[in-house]
Amino acid sequence: MNNFVVVARTHEIQPGTGRTVAVDGIWIALFNVDGRFYAIDNSCPHAGGPLGEGKLCEGVVECPWHGWKFDVASGERVGNPNFQVTRCEVRVQGDDIQIAIPPSLREPA
């Protein structure tokens, strides 16, 4: 069973923006795409860039370090789905955005 944790309030993340949140020391990139929230591992699979600081455009975030782009809903790299970032389950309850960290993000690298 997944444990959901409150990471932000819905009004704190405007549509078309994102931010980085921490859950138990794990950094997660959280985005608002037209009122729907998505959460992915903050660490870019290229070289660890902070995806939560990337620019979001039409559901795609651009890594601020070297420009790789990821669909925040699927976690796939645009144009090359062999590269993926781990997705987290997200739910909204009232004004709370809650996410569940998948076991793969809790395992030591």
Q: Does 47 bind ligand FES (CB under 6 A)?
A: yes
CA angle 58, 63, 28 (to 5 degrees): 85
Sign of the CA dihedral running 74, 64, 44, 97: negative
Q: Does 66 bind ligand FES (CB under 6 A)?
A: yes
Q: Does 65 bind ligand FES (CB under 6 A)?
A: yes
Nearest distance, CB of residue 83 and ligand FES, angstroms: 10
Nearest distance, CB of residue 34 and ligand FES, angstroms: 24
3-state helix, strand and coil shares in percent for the chain, rounded to the nearest 5: 10, 50, 40
Positions in the binding site for ligand FES (CB under 6 A): 44, 46-49, 63, 65-68
